[in-house]
Amino acid sequence: MSKQTHVLITGGAGFIGSHVADELLAHGYRVRVLDNLTPQVHGPARAVPSYLSPQVEFLLGDVRDRNLVRRALTGVDAVFHFAAAVGVGQSMYEIAEYTSVNDLGTANLLQEIIARPVKALIVASSMSVYGEGLYQDGSEPVVANERPLKQLQAGEWEVRNAGGETLVPQPTPESKPPQLSSVYALSKYDQERMCLIVARTYGFRATALRFFNVYGPRQSLSNPYTGVLAIFASRLLNGNRPLIFEDGMQRRDFVSVHDVARACRLALESPAAAGGVMNVGSGRSVSICEVARKVAKVLGCEKIEPQMTGRYRAGDIRHCFADISLAERLLGYKPEIDFDAGIDDLAVWLRKQAPEDRVAEACAELSTRGLTV
């Protein structure tokens, strides 16, 4: 791609999209953003966030508006498609909304791209499409089944084989078959498959990036369905105990948004990425308990201990962390920010925020609907 490439980012006023905009601008690209400034993320005023670069051409509107999408694509060479409703738990009761935004919105975008071809399309997918990550049973890698409800009701959290033995979590590669355990996961898989199928049919490049747990400045702290790091920070900054489901020993891959933004630019610039899916993570795993304590420490809230709920949410999985060898090989991607440095970076930003803690409200909503056990 030429550095004069004109790029559209749908959902580009959000957390990841705005960092990608900064990364592209820093490397000489022209950037246009289409975003509906949804109140759950941006607040009821729906104001353009102050962190969005003034060099960005901003269009207010919804990706489901075909006329607006047509206008947004005018003169564009490449598209990053980040517009999506995000959240595993909420997707299990806002089914029509998640399907409309994520599936119909993507279909609208692709319909207009067919009429106004672009050179490349990068779509944001999610580690949620894997369900449980890859495991090892003895010396053999195995694809684990979902944990039985009876086991979860007994407070037995680890993934087991047919003989009742605990399986050992392993880095999850892109070859691991999807196990779609939530409406959100299903919609993200739909997004990536639609983009890859249409791109192959009409002859343009497309790449799906499966983001793991992205964290960093600009996360929506008042959105109770955002990333767990932001949720913990919101609780702590309001003097409340972080709520941890299960026993807190579930492991995830936390990757800095700065590394993710760089991976996105590399995907745009790397023809070898065309037609495929690849993980974007740190390649390391951290327990949720460890995350809660690290966030409390950097915020000076060590005395606020996390609260173990001992409950399970529909759609949750036990362990999943990334094998990033494919992105390393095809993109030249290598994470540069380790977790401790990333948390320190996040803390500098967090200390200037005054989030509204809506976590209890979200938990009550899930419980009322029978989505926690």
Angle among Cα 245, 343, 10 to the nearest 5 degrees reads 80
Residue in 257, 255, 371 with CA at minimum distance from that of residue 313: 371
- The H or E element containing residue 326 is helix 325-331
The DSSP secondary structure of 124-166, one letter per residue, reads EEEGGGGSS-EEEETTEEEEPPPPPHHHHHTT--S-B-TTSPB
Q: Is-catalytic flag, 184?
A: yes
| DSSP class of 372 | B
Tokens representing 357 are 């803690």
Q: Is 338 helix (H, G, I), strand (E, B) or coil?
A: coil
Q: Is 218 left (phi over 0), alpha (psi -120 to 50) or beta?
A: left
Single-letter code of the amino acid located at 170: Q
Q: Please pick, among 184, 189, 312, 333, the residue that the annotation labels catalytic.
A: 184
Distance CA 115, CA 60 (A): 22
Helix (H) or strand (E) holding 193: helix 183-202
- Rounded to 5 degrees, φ, ψ at 123 are -110, 135
- Residues with catalytic annotation? 184
